[in-house]
Structure 1
Amino acid sequence: MIAAARLPPKQDRARLTRDRLLDVAGELLAEAGIERISTNMIAARAGLTPPALYRYFGDKYALLEALGRRLMERQNAVLERWIARRAPGGITGMADHIDDLLTENAAVTRAEPGAVWILRALHASPQLVHIRLESHRHVTDRLTDACAPHLPGTDRKMLWSRLRLAVELGFAADEMLYEEDRVSAGAVLAEVAAMLRSALLDLTETA
C-alpha cells in the first residue's frame, strides 16, 4: 500500500502561503508599479480568493509593509553574519572588509522579488517610510555595538552619528545602481567601501 502524501502542518502551510503572497506581490510590484498594484491582482496571481488573502494582510499597504520588513530582515541577516566574522578583528578587521558587506547586501537585495520597487515604496509612501528608518537605525545600532568595544575613548553618541551617515551612504549607493547604468556597479561599491574604510579608520585616530 502506498502511503498517503503528508500535508505540512497547518502553521507551515500558513507560512508558505504568506511567503507566496509576498513573492507574488513583489513580482507584480515590478510589473505594475505601486499605484496600480491591488490585492485582487495579487490574490489572482497567487491562486487565492481575495478573502483568503485578507486572512494574512488587511490591505495593499499591509502587504507592502511586510515586503519591506522581509527585505530589511534579510539585509540585517547579512549584517549579523558579517559582524560575527569581522568584529573580532577590531576596527581594522571591519574596515578592511566593508566591501564584503556591501557586496553581500547587494546580492541579497537583488534576489528579492521586486526589490527596486519595494525600496521605492519605502521612500515614496508615508505609510512605509518608518520601516526603512527603523531598519537603518537598527543597522547603525549593531555597528555601534560592534565598534564601541574597540574605541573605548570615543563618545557613543558621536560614534552612532558617524556610523548612521555611513549606513545611509552604503544603502544609497546600492539603490542608485538600480537606475544609473553609466557607472560600473563593482567600481561604485569599491569606491564606497574605500570611503567608509577611511571613515572607520579615522575613528581610531580620534579615540
Structure 2
Amino acid sequence: MSSAKKPSARKAAEPPPQVVTTTKQQPQQARAQDTFELILETAGHLLDEVGLERLSTNLVCRRAGLSPPALYRYFPNKYAILRELGDRLMALQDQAVLDWIGEGGMNTRTIEDAIESNIRLQERVNDITRQFPGNIFVLRALRAIPLLREVRLASSDMVAERIADGMIQNGHKASRERLIASARLTTELAYSAMEMVLEEPDRDTRQILTDVSRMIALHYAGLNG
C-alpha cells in the first residue's frame, strides 16, 4: 500500500510560480466582448457549483459551448480567469468604500453614529459581493493562491490610504502611517465578517455586522484619544 500523501485541496489549487495569470488580450469587437464576458460569467457560476479546485478551462468551455481555442485566445489558464474575476470584484468593493467616504461616511460625531455608518458600508459591500458570481470562491482564490494575492493586497493598500486620508481630513490625531496600518487591519476584520455572513447564512447577519462595526469604531476612537 502506497504511503504517498494525497495533496491537500489548497495545494491542488496553487499553480507553479511561473504560470502566467494575466489576460492575453482584451476583446476589441462586440462579438469578442460577448465571448469574453461569457467566459467570466460561466466561470463564476461554475465556482458556485463545483468550487475552486474543480474549476477547469475544459469545464468552462463545455458549459459555455465554446471551443478551447476561443477561451485560450483571452485566458491562458483558469488562474487568469480567476484574476480577472478578482480584479472586478475588488474594483466593485473598492468603489463602494470610496463612495461611502465621498458621501461623508466618516463624518460621525459619536461612537454609535460611527457604528451605524460602518454597518451601512458593510451591508453595501456584502450585497455587492453576494451578487457577484463565484463570490466566496473568488475571495478564497485571492487569499490562498500566491500568484493572485497581489490583487487583494493592492486593493487593501489603496483603500487603506484613502481611509487614512479621510480620517486626517476629519481631524483624527493619529499619524497617517498609523491610520493606514489600522485601516489594513480593520479591512481584514471586515473581510472575516463578510466570509462568515456568506458562508453561514443562517447566522444573525445584523448582529455580526454590528459587532464588527463596534470593534472598528472603538479601535479608531482609541487611537484618537
Shorter-chain TM-score category? 0.7 to 0.9
Query: Residue 38 of structure 2 aligns to a residue in which SS?
Result: helix
Per the TM alignment, residue 163 of structure 1 is displaced from its structure 2 partner at its CA by: 1.6
AA aligned to 1:113 is P
Q: Does 1:28 align with 2:56?
A: no
Per the TM alignment, residue 18 of structure 1 is displaced from its structure 2 partner at its CA by: 1.9
Structure 2 counterpart of 1:121, from 106, 130, 141: 141
- Report the counterpart of residue 48 of structure 1 in structure 2: 66
Distance between the aligned counterparts of 1:68 and 1:39, measured in 2?
17
Change (3 A) 1:88 1:180: closer
Q: How large is the Cα RMSD of the aligned pairs?
A: 2.3
TM-score of the two chains, using structure 2 as the length reference: 0.79
Change (3 A) 1:152 1:176: closer
- Report the counterpart of residue 137 of structure 1 in structure 2: 157
**Identical aligned residues as a percent:** 38
Distance between the aligned counterparts of 2:126 and 2:81, measured in 1?
23
Per the TM alignment, residue 137 of structure 1 is displaced from its structure 2 partner at its CA by: 1.7
Per the TM alignment, residue 44 of structure 1 is displaced from its structure 2 partner at its CA by: 2.1
Structure 1 counterpart of 2:90, from 66, 72, 87: 72
Per the TM alignment, residue 43 of structure 1 is displaced from its structure 2 partner at its CA by: 1.8
Structure 1 residue ranges without an equivalent (≥5): 1-8
Per the TM alignment, residue 155 of structure 1 is displaced from its structure 2 partner at its CA by: 1.4
AA aligned to 1:47 is G
AA aligned to 2:87 is R
Change (3 A) 1:96 1:201: farther
TM-score of the two chains, using structure 1 as the length reference: 0.85
- Larger displacement relative to structure 2 (130-139 or 156-165): 130-139
- Could you list the structure 1 runs, at least 4 aligned residues long, displaced by more than 4 angstroms after superposition: 90-96
Is the contact between residue 105 and residue 117 of structure 2 (CA under 8 Å) also seen in structure 1?
no
As a proportion of its length, which structure holds more helix? 1
Deviations 1:3-62, CA, capped at 9 Å, x for gaps: xxxxxx953443333222111101111212222211121122222211111121111110
- Larger displacement relative to structure 2 (88-97 or 56-65): 88-97
Aligned residues: 197
Structure 2 counterpart of 1:102, from 116, 122, 132: 122
